[in-house]
Structure 1
Amino acid sequence: MNVRRWILPLLLLTTPALTGCLDGPYDPRGLPYRFVAHEYPYRMVPVDVDGDGQDEYLEYQPAGAGPNAKPPSYVLRRHNGTAVDELPLFGRDAGLPLFLDVLPGPAREILIPYVRNDSLFLGVFDNQGTKHPALFLTTGSPRIDPEDGHVYPWDPRIGPLRRADVNGDGKDELIVVYHTGYARLPRGVAVFAWPERRLIDEEIVGAVAGFVALDDLDRDGRLELVTQGYAPNNGAVAGGFSDDRSYGIVFELGDDVRVDTSWVIPDAQTYLFYDDLDNDGRKTLWHVVLAGHKADERRTVIREFLPGTWRSVVRKTLNESFFIMQTADVDRDGIAELVFLKRPNELHVVDPDGWRVTVHTFEGAFRGFNPLPDLDGDGWEEAGLVELSSRKLLVLDTDLTPMAMAVLPLPDMMFTGFRAGVGRPTYLLAISDLDANENRSV
């Protein structure tokens, strides 16, 4: 069965209207909010591909049946559902579309990974739907379990794409991060000459590698790409790494791609991020390890990698057990703070300027904290707290002041923004896989 998603837009209006909200301390009755439900297609990816301030989205169309069946494709639609173009795939879909400016002109192109036979390609389409030459990425094969003979299909995936001049030739190369799943390989980083579409070099590792940052982090004149993974323990071994452990890996880029340094990430929940937290104009790499829930593990450690080195120092230790961490500019001073969710109902805001800690307490019990797009048009992002039952969303202003609470139609929803045009309010889309909620409807 095809998995579908339901999406709940939360639209800010200029006239008071409200449905689907709660009585109580967060009842926004009298405020300009309306909560309405619509159905959108499975795997909707909102993005402004033509730069007009209005998001479009891609709707996946599976292949038809029969010998002369239509191949799978994506349909590019405007926010109101009007079709713009259809983008054919000459192979099996291999993950969500990606968006990057890779052709002349200011607009971003649509880059769609797909598998044909044993090869992974990147389809290239402009914002008018015109197909350009595809990029051949790599080859692979299914994995057969030696114990029970189970066949794991080849499931290659690629992470965010980046363009940067990695070898000093004055042209931007295309940088690809592989993070294949059960089939194990490839995982790692590859650099391609662009627009020649030629592989320059790659470094394959057994560990899962997810994109964190791209910059000259150690200030040696060469770009580094930092990845963070998890440990699926599928038996993958390559490049001195196996996937029975989680790693932070630094790949040094150039005509030769190689691992510069790496470190094992603890089993506890860990965050790697790259930001300027001291307002000196230079970002640095940060490593935050959340404490466990045992009495002797209730310690959260915030570490900073020293500029120009791969040595880290402890900047703050919190004798608390937290569930989630995000970064947000809570006090609107242009510098991000660290925001930790402590169950059931506290947000601890850590200001790097003096490492002061401020605690915000809310009524209810919450399991998630998510950044949200700018919903009220003031130029600052909002945030959301998801209730423990996963059925209510508390919308917070930038300073964490409650704005409204909405009842969600399905549990375990994810959130993203959907821009309806310049000068128009932003939709907040709450997305849920119906595969896990087959007997539920909005």
Structure 2
Amino acid sequence: MRASPPLRATTYLLANGVTGLLTLLTTLLLFAVGGVLAVLVAGIPLLAALTLIGVPVAGLERRFQRLVDDRPLRDGHRIPPRPGLTSWLRTRWTEPATWRALGFATLLMTVLWPIDLLAVLLGVTVPVALLSTPWQFAVLGDGQQVNVLKTYPVTSWSQAVLTCLVGVVTLVACVFGVVLLARARGLLARAILTPPEFPVNERVVELARSRVRLVDAFEAERSRIERDLHDGAQQRLIALSMMLGLARRDAPAGPLADQLSRAHDEAGQVLVELRDLIRGIHPPLLTDFGLEAAVLDLATRSAVRVDVRFAVSERFSRTVESTAYFVVAEALANLAKHSGADRGEVTGGYAGGTLTVAVSDNGRGGAGLDGGTGLIGLADRVSVVGGRLSLSSPAGGPTRLIVEIPCQTLQASA
């Protein structure tokens, strides 16, 4: 069974009063010891620890809040990115929640704890002293005189009874006063410790950052798969193809030789498809030689003649290069399948902190983002890295796709 509101309010004020007093004594002790040892440098960590004294105090306050408010008090602390004391300290010292907790602890140990303890002391002792006046007059005063609260003399039974009645009124007033004070104290602590609502613009920034992190993780996983296929399955297929070729050469003419020949041809076809798959996951040419060489390779393998005037010798992050590469790959695929063009062009460069890629053709035009050509996926992918995709494709042509990605070179970001 849950305790009554007056008892919970009294417990809340008493717990906060004791916590504030202990916090004050601990702070003074750490400050004194740290100040003495600062000459030997050993005291500097103790002085730095004083800035974190609000963290446990705020943690206790969140527990005490349950006595006066059913709503949970949000923590506001971030989870350290890595295990260990250094990561924990860096996170705590760089987050607003720590400084809000320090402000609350400072207010608690300088102003609030005396008020809390005094409210509990007066709220309990004054009504008890007034209500027990008849008993004090009969037992302690021996029916002659008793000093209530050490100040008010009671010399008759009528005064004792009247004082007891005043004690009843005082008890009611103190109960309401303690409950009201406890709730006000709880609201004050909640106002100080509650983290502000996440602004919409910060939510957008955090969402964008999370999308970038997901893309980076995706690119890393693609690179791992490409490496595993290249170093594992592809090498095994090459070895298998060589073994089949040797077996076909040594086998006598007949059905067995024919079967080995077909198996050797099939292994070669699988190897070609696997190489195309690896190139589609993350082309080794892009990793080894950069965006300019990879774009030139795409144009060379295109079914439609494509002129290239794309001069980019700089190297960028894996995500940026991969995004630009697959934009060109998808655009050239659409050019060959849907445009009806007999000629295309890839242009672009890097200037002013922006990587620009443009793909155009002399086809029939009429392309759109909703035409089922994968352009919406490209637009989403470009937006993740902070870029912009624009498309111009009037009926009758020509079609021009432009992608602009703000980025830094690897040399500049190093």
Compute the TM-score of the two structures, normalised by the length of structure 2: 0.20
Structure ranking higher in strand proportion:
1
Structure ranking higher in helix proportion:
2
Rg: which structure is higher?
2
